[in-house]
Structure formats: structure tokens, C-alpha cells
Amino acid sequence: MPRKARKYIDYRETIYHVVCRGNNQKKIFSGVRDYKKLLSIIRETKKKMPFWFYSYSFLPNHFHLLIETRDFSLSKIVGRINFLYAVYFNHRHHRSGHLFQDRFYSSVINKEDYFWTVSCYIDLNPVRAKIVILPENHRWGSFKIYKEKIIKDDLIDRNKFLSYIGRKGPEECRQEYLNFVQGKIISDDKKILTFLN
């Protein structure tokens, strides 16, 4: 039976929350090398198919991305990332078959209403999974990039992300976002902790 066509994944200049899960909830990362490889593939794909990259969080059996498309569709961007990573993972671990569960999940994010909430959810995912106590301690997530006052890596488009937060300067916006995330940890906000559960 043919799969139903998915809506809203071919829009340009649209922000998406993307989730890719391992098939049968199995691990898609077996060590540091695997995490680094996925980051490398995302970096390479970003150069070949430019998109804005705002947040990410890699967990053992799934990962989250917050990206904004430009000239290439979401399906082409994520399709390339997942294909290249699956080929690498299967070859390295001497396995065959599907690595990911079905097609990736995606939802369109309204800049004003859900942008902060979704990014915060992504940043707190490893805390919620009890991998770390604080999001900045998660090695395979983007929150640590927002914690740093000065960044040298251009993988995450931090200034563009911060520009959506308000009309304040980048540093004020950065502090405001950090306070927003930290506040959710302290208050144990149910909306964040059950978002997309």
C-alpha cells in the first residue's frame, strides 16, 4: 500500500522541528565516532544544500534538529543526512536493513508562538532522558553553544536564532534565552517536559 504524501515539507524559508528515531527503538549511536560522523554529515549537507541550523540534540536512539529551509526542501536535506548516516552506520557496524523508523517526523514551527518552546524542548531532551543534569553538560547538543559568550564554530546559526527572540542586542537575547531554558529546569514546566512525548 503506497504511503500518504506528507504536507508542509517542501516549503522554503520555513522552520521545522525534525525527529529521527532508530528502527524498533534501537540505538543509532554506538560511540563517540558515530556522534561525530552525524555532525560531520550535517555540516557537509549544510554546505551543499544551505539551510539555517538552530538547535540539535543527539540521544542514543534518536535525534532532534531545529532547522530553517532556504532553497532546498526539508525532504531533500534530511533525506540526504539520514541516507549518508545509515550507509556509514551499517558499514561500520556490519549490519543491514533500515536504521531509522519509518520516515522522519517533522512539524512546522511558528517563529513567534513556538520557536523558543521547541528549541527549549530540544535542549532539555537529554535532561528529561536523565543523561545529564544540566543541558550544557550534554556533549552532543547545541545548548552549550548558546552558553558560550564567544563561539568559533559556524555550524549553528546562533545570531540568526537570537534575532528571532526580539529587538534587543545579540548578547541580551542570548542571556534571555539562557534564562528561559534555566527557568524551565527549575520550574519543571509540564508543557516542556511532555512536549511531543
Dump the DSSP string for 136-173. Answer: GG-TTBSHHHHH-SS----SS-HHHHHHTT-SS-HHHH
**Tens digits of residue pLDDT in 81-96:** 999 999 999 999 998 8
CA distances 175 to 23, 60, 102, 147, 178, Å, are: 38, 29, 38, 8, 5
Mean of pLDDT over the chain: 88
Check pLDDT > 60 for residue 36.
Answer: yes
What's the predicted TM-score (pTM) here? 0.88
Domains and CATH numbers, the chain: 15-193 (3.30.70.1290)
